[in-house]
Structures are given as C-alpha cells and as structure tokens.
Amino acid sequence: MKRRLINFENDEIPLVVIPQFEEKVKRSQAHYKKALENVTSIRALYNQQLFDQAIDNAYHAIFQAMQALITLAGYQVISKHHNDVWTIFKSMFVDQALGDQDLATFFNQNGMISEEFYEEARFIREIRDYIRYEPEANANSAITEEIICRSTQIYEKLLKYRNELEHFLSSKIATNLRS
C-alpha cells in the first residue's frame, strides 16, 4: 500500500514518521511553555488578554500533542488494515472533520489502540466548544486547571510512545544490520 509516497511493507513504521513526530512534539512543547508563562503572569496580575492567551496556548499544546500521537498511531493502524481506513483517518484528522460517528466507526474497526485517541479528540472538542460558548470564563475556572492537567497527562503519553517508537526502530535497524 502506498500513501503520500510512503511505502508500507511488513507493518513497519516508515522512517519519515520520526521527523513529523518530533516537529509536532516541539510545537506542542513551545505552546505548553507559553501557556505556563501566561498562567504565572495571571497569578501576579490578572487580565483577560493573558487568560485568553493561556487558554489558546494550552489548547494548541494539546492539539499538537494529539497530532504527534496520531502520527504514530495512524501509521501503525494504516499499515495493518485496508485502504478504507486511510479514507476514514484522513477525513477525521487530516481534514479535521472530527465527527463522533466517524470516530466511533474508525475505532471499532481498528481496535483498542485507538480508544485513547477518541477520548482525547472528544476532550479537545469540549475545550473548543467551552471556549467558543463560554466567553465569561475566568482565570479561576476549573477548565483552566483541567487544560493544564490534561496536557501534562498527554505529555506522559508522548514520552511513552516516543520510547516505544525508538525501541521499535532500534530493533529494526539492528535486525537489518545483521541481515
């Protein structure tokens, strides 16, 4: 199967995934750092602009972390299943059409690896809707704490997946060198 000039053979994760993953992690880390700086500033002197920036940066940190995780999971899943999976995957995450029914269909087809991604995607939609429809939210609201807490949890997952990917690639390289 060939997608975006990437060959999927023997269920291997293509090497091109590494720079894509790293780039998304760096973007996520940058936004997360800015969000923490915003929150620190808010504690010293609250104003609506700083709060809006904190929410925006935390949201983008979560979004980029999600994209990094999806980069790994997507290639793993796509390499193991039929072409229709790519169509569903692209419509959900590449085109950002995150519909509940599409997500449910995708996860039912592709097993437990995707359960966490459904939960995170749903959380991102909730945050987006909250920000959109609750402009009176303030710096003391529970949603601020939840965003920071959730993005921290996602970083733990990012590190876990990064280690797994590095181990996988190291094994593949060692196997190829011995061959």
Question: pLDDT, tens digit, for every residue of 165-179?
Answer: 556 555 655 665 666
Does the pTM of the predicted model rise above 0.75?
Answer: no
150 is a domain residue:
yes
Question: pLDDT, tens digit, for every residue of 28-44?
Answer: 778 877 877 876 776 66
8 is a domain residue:
no
CA distance 25 to 17: 12
Give the pair of three-digit tokens for residue 144. 């601020």
Residue in 15, 40, 55 with CA at minimum distance from that of residue 144: 55
Instruction: Output the CA–CA distances (angstroms, integers) from residue 17 to 24, 53, 69, 76, in the order listed.
Output: 11, 30, 11, 10
pLDDT, mean of each 10-residue run, the chain (179 residues): 34 60 78 76 70 71 66 52 43 41 46 51 55 47 57 60 58 61
9 is a domain residue:
no
109 is a domain residue:
yes
For residue 97, the model assigns a pLDDT of 36
For residue 130, the model assigns a pLDDT of 52
Identify whether the C-beta of residue 79 lies closer than 8 Å to the C-beta of residue 12.
Answer: yes
110 is a domain residue:
yes
Identify whether the C-beta of residue 162 lies closer than 8 Å to the C-beta of residue 170.
Answer: no
Number of domains in the chain: 1
7 is a domain residue:
no
- By residue range, what is the domain housing residue 92? 15-174
29 is a domain residue:
yes
6 is a domain residue:
no
CA distance 17 to 146: 30
